[in-house]
Amino acid sequence: MNDISEKRRRPVSGRARIPLDGFGFILPSLILFAAVFAVPIGYVVMFSFQTDEGASLDGYRWILDSNLFGRVLWTSVQIALLATLVSVILGYLLALFLYRLSPRKRAVGLAFVLFPFWTSILVKSYSLTVLLGREGVVNSTLGWFLGYNPELPLIFNRIGVLIGMSNHLVPFVVFPVLANLLAQDRNLGQAAAIMGASPFTIFRRVTLPLSTPAILAATLMCLIISFGFFVTPALLGGRTDVMLANLIDLFTRETLNWTVASAIAVVLLTASIVLVLALSRLTGQQKAV
């Protein structure tokens, strides 16, 4: 997928001649995934095509007929794309910053990235309420400087969702990008500098192109994660910030209409797979360059 793993996999000596090459190594996880992932997914697909009365397309008919689905799908796409964009930019900048630190400082910096990564998303969402609220830390601090509370609407709207989601997603960008940056040959940058390139040109023409695979991998991860987001839009969003996962929850747990819930899940899954394929094609082309 990206060139670091490629490098690591290359055997150092000739002793790696184990007969269980490739497929043998992934067999255990393949079996596990078949059991705990493929089988349930198979059930979901099956459920989506049947009601209590037998085989039926009612689930998909609901999707086509309902204006709820279209709206929620569009919201989900918007939120996923925006959150991914924000997270990739912030994460990339953060990775660049960490990359420039000494290894020791970098370890401290990484710990700060890891803290939110390890914290429950529920806890994070509630903490953000405290920070971003009408009388929250951000607004009261601004109020202290301004002399009045500006009551910036940072929460219970799209902004709140994006802040909450990027808070969750940034680590997923930092790790692959930082790994990529650290694996880049520093001589390339020096060579460019010797040839008279400005730091910005070095970044634009050397560092950034070399890190594209990591950016694409991070983008892909963010998109997939954010497309299925659930807690953050519910807690930090406004009334219009409803995502597909929230809709699936409504049909699964509240109305017990598993036909519609499964049909939505199948559409969500298919859309995610199409996204993954499209992006991995992009990644593939990138590698060929």
Residues in the site for other proteins, rule: CB under 8 A?
Answer: 66-68, 71-72, 75, 122, 126, 129-130, 133-136, 155-156, 231, 234-235, 238-240, 242, 247, 250, 252-258
Nearest to other proteins of 222, 235 (CB atom)? 235
Least distance in angstroms from the C-beta of 153 to other proteins? 8
Least distance in angstroms from the C-beta of 213 to other proteins? 36
Nearest to other proteins of 105, 134 (CB atom)? 134
Nearest to other proteins of 10, 239 (CB atom)? 239
Least distance in angstroms from the C-beta of 6 to other proteins? 40
Tokens of 65: 């007929």
Least distance in angstroms from the C-beta of 271 to other proteins? 19
Nearest to other proteins of 174, 247 (CB atom)? 247
107's enclosing H/E stretch is helix 103-118
Q: Which residue has the tokens 């089988």?
A: 39
Least distance in angstroms from the C-beta of 248 to other proteins? 11
Q: Which residue has the tokens 């010797």?
A: 194
Least distance in angstroms from the C-beta of 232 to other proteins? 11
**For residues 81 and 223, what is the distance between their CA atoms, to the nearest angstrom?**
7
**For residues 79 and 72, what is the distance between their CA atoms, to the nearest angstrom?**
10
The pair phi, psi for residue 184, each rounded to 5°, is -70, 145
Nearest to other proteins of 56, 286 (CB atom)? 56
**Identity (one letter) of the amino acid at 192?**
A
Nearest to other proteins of 66, 286 (CB atom)? 66
**Identity (one letter) of the amino acid at 210?**
L
DSSP class of residue 52 equals T
Task: Give the length of the chain.
Answer: 289
**Identity (one letter) of the amino acid at 76?**
S
Tokens of 202: 């070095």
**For residues 68 and 213, what is the distance between their CA atoms, to the nearest angstrom?**
37
Tokens of 26: 């992934």
